[in-house]
Structure 1
Amino acid sequence: MSHSPQAGAVVVHGGAGAPLEHEDGCVLAARRALAQLEVNGDALDAAIIAVTTLEDDGRFNAGSGASLGLDGATIEMDASIMDTRGRLGAVACVRDVKNPVKLARAIADTPHVMLAGEGAQRFARSLGMPGSAPISDHQRAEHRTLMKELAGSVPLMPGIDNRLFDRFWNYKTPLQLPKSSACDTVGAVVRGPDGHFAVACSTGGSAPSLLGRVGDSPIIGSGFYAGPHGAVAASGIGEHIMRHLLARTVYGWIEDGMPLEAALKRGLDLFDREVDVGLIAVSRTEAGALCYHGMPHARMTQR
């Protein structure tokens, strides 16, 4: 954990359980966020630049690297932003948008907080936002691996029988199991040099998942939260995270004066160790990240 009471700070993560060799992408995202803080000091602008960098990377489960649905063709993405200047926006189940986090930021300027599905996609088009990149070889390879694992007996989501995805199948095409589960979210939390806080998150969804599934990432208080005492972002299996309103719960402990590292540990200890969950946070004096299963991340502070 780092301690710097006055300077701006950035923490970026690439997803609970994601390969640690992807940490260079988080480092680049954090550097770009710090550079943005030097430009205008706006914590939210910095958080969005960090997440946009990860969305464009292609290796993370967000934006250009979002996981394919079980049908091997559908991609549904969620994103969110929040800061202590009153800006709050989220998008759920959007399909053809290059950078969902930018769409979430645009929604914050509308009379609404969240748009979903077709409405969100139409709004993106009205703003001239570009569509998604073509499906990559990396995305197709991840899908092939997932389908092989889904055909096996080991649960891909802790406590969930793989056969339930067959029972409740709701895609247009039939389920085909030919013989790594993805639940990653990317996110950034920022403390601006003026004391304002911001958080931004983006995800390509959970794999496996039913069509239309929404996780914790766009749900305020579950996957993200920012207030006058700090900002928190969560990563992992949303079905577990939402039950604890994890981001708001951890924020509450920070607000009550608990040291940041202790708050993050207490948050993870709400879950069985088999459940892959990670947290990042900044407070007025600290910045940190924690995940028991490994999580690529980067933490940087203004000098």
Structure 2
Amino acid sequence: MTRQLQATVVTHGGAGGSRDQDDGCRFAANTGLDRLAGGGSALDAAVSAVVALEDDGRYNAGSGSVLCLDGRTIEMDAAVMDSQGALGAVACIQRVKNPVLVAQAITRTPHWLLAGEGAERFARTAGFAIHHAISERQRAKHARLMATLGGSEPATPGVANRAFKDYWNYDTPPAFTPCDTVGAVVRDAAGNFAVAGSTGGSAPSLLGRVGDTPIIGSGFYAGAEGAVAVTGIGEHIVRHLLAHTVYAWIAGGMGVDEAVRRGVDLLPQEIDVGVIAVGREDAAMHSNREMPCAEARA
């Protein structure tokens, strides 16, 4: 007989964000709990929480996604996974409102990851409407990025600003915001786990850039012993397979709090990174930057 556990939802709004945005993470976590209470699965709860974050507009996901360097393109990634075999992801998808819902729909196909034009075509086939809205907040963030790229201070740690001009691959000529993600991890009362994540990409970046968010084991992982979501600079996160590394520590008996802290410590201090995770008994969140986050239990 399965032991009844305390249902738990943990959410984050991206490493490097503001704790003033914890309210959106709390709302998202409670939205996930409500989905569980209404009979939804752990995966349904994780997706519901991330949809709330995508729709908030303050986080770099969904409605708040950063503009690419051309000032008009938005490329988004998302992924979902649970401990019962569901797995789906999208990369570089454009013109959808909630990429995480498209990722969930992919779990019902023969594939686990669709990218670019194929992902958008699938979204239309699956019934998701065309959506492309740019807010004044997004435009202002893009303007600040352009100003940074025109200066001497690197917009991305360890990368010369000129590199984005040298390798420019947009249709428009170069004209010379930040890298974050949203995510949720869930444990339901039956001990099932799920994770969902979404991002509006990294800025600055070349067209077609894919970070850690839709890469299994890097930005997300869920298994029989827990679920992990990662946020930060994907080019560094993928080199450590950070989500699976943290999951393996938890599965091996390490406390969740220790595991997420150890995971963050794997990356240099100058690289933004944050981890949230839930295990059979506990949950934790940690970042080397401010990171809006919340936990809800039932």
In the alignment, which residue of structure 2 is the partner of 1:142?
141
Distance in 1 of aligned mates of 2:131 and 2:23: 23
Amino acid at match of 1:165: F
In the alignment, which residue of structure 1 is the partner of 2:224?
228
Write out the 4+ residue segments of structure 1 that deviate beyond 6 Å after TM superposition: none
In the alignment, which residue of structure 2 is the partner of 1:67?
66
Amino acid at match of 2:38: V
In the alignment, which residue of structure 2 is the partner of 1:287?
283
Contact 1:41–1:192 (CA under 8 A) maintained in structure 2: no
In the alignment, which residue of structure 1 is the partner of 2:96?
97
| Structure 1 residue 256 corresponds to structure 2 residue 252 | yes
Contact 1:79–1:92 (CA under 8 A) maintained in structure 2: yes
| Structure 1 residue 40 corresponds to structure 2 residue 36 | no
Q: By how many angstroms is 1:130 displaced?
A: 2.1
Q: By how many angstroms is 1:150 displaced?
A: 1.3
Give the stretch that moved more between structures: 94-103 or 126-135: 126-135
Distance in 1 of aligned mates of 2:25 and 2:214: 21
Q: Map 1:1-303 onto structure 2 (within 5 A).
A: 6-177=5-176, 181-302=177-298
Distance in 2 of aligned mates of 1:299 and 1:10: 6
Q: By how many angstroms is 1:149 displaced?
A: 1.0
Distance in 1 of aligned mates of 2:221 and 2:146: 34
Contact 1:278–1:290 (CA under 8 A) maintained in structure 2: yes
TM-score (norm 2): 0.97
Amino acid at match of 2:244: R
Q: What is the DSSP-based 3-state SS (H/G/I as helix, E as strand, rest coil) of the residue aligned with 1:174?
A: coil
Distance in 2 of aligned mates of 1:206 and 1:185: 9
Amino acid at match of 2:296: M
**Count of aligned residue pairs for this structure pair:** 295
Q: By how many angstroms is 1:133 displaced?
A: 4.2
Structure 2 segments unaligned to the other structure (5+ residues):
none
Distance in 2 of aligned mates of 1:131 and 1:296: 29
Q: Percent same amino acid at aligned positions?
A: 59
RMSD: 1.0
Taking structure 1 as reference, are residues 41 and 95 closer, same or farther at Cα in structure 2, changes over 3 Å only? closer
Amino acid at match of 1:81: V
Distance in 2 of aligned mates of 1:167 and 1:74: 19
Q: What is the DSSP-based 3-state SS (H/G/I as helix, E as strand, rest coil) of the residue aligned with 1:40?
A: coil
Q: What is the DSSP-based 3-state SS (H/G/I as helix, E as strand, rest coil) of the residue aligned with 2:38?
A: helix
Q: By how many angstroms is 1:246 displaced?
A: 0.3
Q: By how many angstroms is 1:237 displaced?
A: 0.3
Q: What is the DSSP-based 3-state SS (H/G/I as helix, E as strand, rest coil) of the residue aligned with 2:171?
A: coil
Distance in 1 of aligned mates of 2:174 and 2:293: 35
Amino acid at match of 1:210: L
Amino acid at match of 2:46: A
Q: By how many angstroms is 1:135 displaced?
A: 0.7
TM-score (norm 1): 0.96
